[in-house]
Amino acid sequence: MSDKPDTRKDIEALQQNPEYIIMNNPLASPKFVRAISKSEQKTITEIYTPKVFYEIVSRLKPEHLVGVANNQNITIEIVIKDFLKDIGAAKSKNYQHLITSVETLQTTILKWKDEKGEHRSPIVAFSTHDHKSSTIQVQVHEKLVKIILDVKEKGNYSFLKQNVHKLQNAQAIKLYPFFKSWLNYGRYESDLVRFKERFGYNTSGYQRFAAFEKYVLMPALEEINEKTDIRLSYQKVGENLQGQKPRVTGLIFFIKPKDKTKILPVPEGPPETGPELTTEYEPQPEPAAEPVPAASPELTVAEFAELYELFKEIWIEDRPDALTSKLLIDGYVTEHGRDTVLDAFTGLIDTKAKAKSVAFFTPETFARYKGFRLKKEGKRQSERARLQQKQQEQAEQERMQLIITDFERREHTYFLQAFDKMTEDARTPLLDQLLTTQANNPVYFESGGQPTDLAKSEIGSYWVNNHTAYDRRLTFQKIAEREFGVQIGFNENGIPYFIK
């Protein structure tokens, strides 16, 4: 695609718009992915509409703009049966979902600004459903096509449509493009309120973090980790996270690639111009294979190939050619040893260091990163152990709460039975005493003056605790052991814990 001045200005204007920018990728911004998921048929549209959009984008090519006049539309034809098969929804009843999703894209407006003003365009300008051929033709405005193609050509639209097509969970489809665009940084941190607002989760149903985690985060991350090319995990930030009533105020997400696919090193901020990468989204012709220099005498072929691939990932402004790179790696290994060089290369990539030239690779640089991989693995193991410990503690808290709830239910029933077994002489003064203070309280007495179950339970509790040998802790321990197969102890504050 040619870089005409007007096209570049359009793209730069869009990329400078904070409403649409995440890592120079306007098509992965929360506002955008939220916009293409809105409909009265929420669940269906959240699953189908993004897939339809990515299908359209994957079909767009620079040659579509050849000979196209200003303000014309580009037509893309989708064979409905083939598309539904690709996304794992081949049943005929799903035809209508596709039509509904196209209609949603026709009412979804994308806007951007440049020196000419503010522009607005529906994602799909016009559509035609051909019943005879079971196809649907969608038309996209040529200015929007230019923007989409520029994002693709610069490599910022860096996720495969196949990864989205595999997903069936609406929240996974919404979150995957966003987190994929943060892969080069490896992490994304946000306070909880801001994260919910950005993705449209600031509703009453997700007010409690437990519900938000159960119905959004856990199923979305589980499917993303299982079916796509990245692996996501998260860490909660807040107060009293280990206590009975934790308060989660933020989240730190960790994004890692599943395989050893090369990731573009990114400096402290996004580069001024889009990195020159071939897009992952649309299949491209295979580039001519770059000759890999022979292995160093100090290394096996596999060891040298590993170092050579790492060296190519380091951010070097004035990068040497392949042969010079081979000679440099030979020299580094001879002088410092393979492990030290491997540590340095790994450290430079992970810390996103920038070098103007190979003069950056001084003995001090190699010494600085010595042992980096071992420390990294130690931190990883420590973090894994910490997360496992945290998960175990959380699971134990949830199980303890389940046992407590079951015990309180049994105890309530026992106190009601005790009330019924009390003699009239024993029961009457206690009812009169409660009636004196709570006569008008409907929690304790019904309109006819009859005691409620809560009143009966309190009187039964008073009688049991003052006239029998009832031991609440011992009873709790016995029920936990008999019904749940666990042993319970109590600390100095009377809080129960599992005896291991």
427/305 same-domain check: no
- CATH of residue 192: 1.10.10.10
| Cα 342 from chain centroid (whole Å) | 31
Helix axes 218-227, 170-180, angle to 10 degrees: 70
pLDDT at 1: 39
* 273-300 burial: b if 16+ Cβ within 10 Å, else e: ebeeeebbbbeeeeeeeeeebebbeebe
pLDDT at 167: 87
pLDDT at 23: 40
Q: Which residue has the higher pLDDT, 181 or 379?
A: 379
Q: Which residue has the higher pLDDT, 478 or 97?
A: 478
The mean per-residue pLDDT over the stretch 317-329 comes to 82
Q: Which residue has the higher pLDDT, 89 or 40?
A: 89
154/17 same-domain check: yes
Q: Does the pLDDT value for residue 266 go beyond 50?
A: no
**Are the C-beta atoms of residues 335 and 362 closer than 8 Å to each other?**
no
- Name the residue among 213, 194, 187 with its Cα closest to residue 383: 187
The mean per-residue pLDDT over the stretch 260-276 comes to 38
The mean per-residue pLDDT over the stretch 443-464 comes to 90
**Domain for residue 442, yes or no?**
yes
Total Cβ atoms within 10 A of residue 59: 16
Q: Does the pLDDT value for residue 7 go beyond 60?
A: no
**Domain for residue 269, yes or no?**
no
**Domain for residue 268, yes or no?**
no
Band (pLDDT 50/70/90 cuts) for residue 366 is: very high
196/131 same-domain check: no
477/411 same-domain check: yes
The mean per-residue pLDDT over the stretch 33-57 comes to 66
pLDDT at 491: 92
187/105 same-domain check: no
pLDDT at 437: 87
**Domain for residue 41, yes or no?**
yes
**Domain for residue 272, yes or no?**
no
DSSP 3-state assignment of 137? strand
384 vs 310: CA distance, rounded Å = 25
225/345 same-domain check: no
Q: What percent of the chain has pLDDT over 90?
A: 26
The mean per-residue pLDDT over the stretch 227-250 comes to 86
The residues, ordered by sequence, that sit 6+ positions from 258 with a Cβ below 8 Å of its Cβ are: 228, 229, 230, 231
145/40 same-domain check: yes
**Domain for residue 171, yes or no?**
no
- Give this prediction's pTM: 0.45
pLDDT at 112: 66
153/57 same-domain check: yes
368 vs 363: CA distance, rounded Å = 9
pLDDT at 269: 40
308/429 same-domain check: no
Q: Does the pLDDT value for residue 161 go beyond 80?
A: no
**Domain for residue 331, yes or no?**
yes
The mean per-residue pLDDT over the stretch 226-250 comes to 86
**Domain for residue 176, yes or no?**
no
Domain end, chosen from 162, 191, 218, is at 162
Q: Which residue has the higher pLDDT, 282 or 34?
A: 34
pLDDT at 418: 92
111/21 same-domain check: yes
Number of independent structural domains in the chain: 4
Structural domain harbouring 254: 182-263
Domain end, chosen from 95, 127, 162, is at 162
10 Å CB burial of residue 406 (0-12, 13-18, 19+) is middle
pLDDT at 415: 93
The mean per-residue pLDDT over the stretch 484-498 comes to 92
- Read off the tokens for 83: 């598309």
- Name the residue among 47, 73, 50 with its Cα closest to residue 60: 73
Domain end, chosen from 338, 370, 402, is at 370
pLDDT at 185: 77
pLDDT at 2: 42
Helix axes 192-199, 170-180, angle to 10 degrees: 110
157/208 same-domain check: no
**Region of poorest pLDDT, from 49-58, 433-442, 483-492:** 49-58
206/350 same-domain check: no
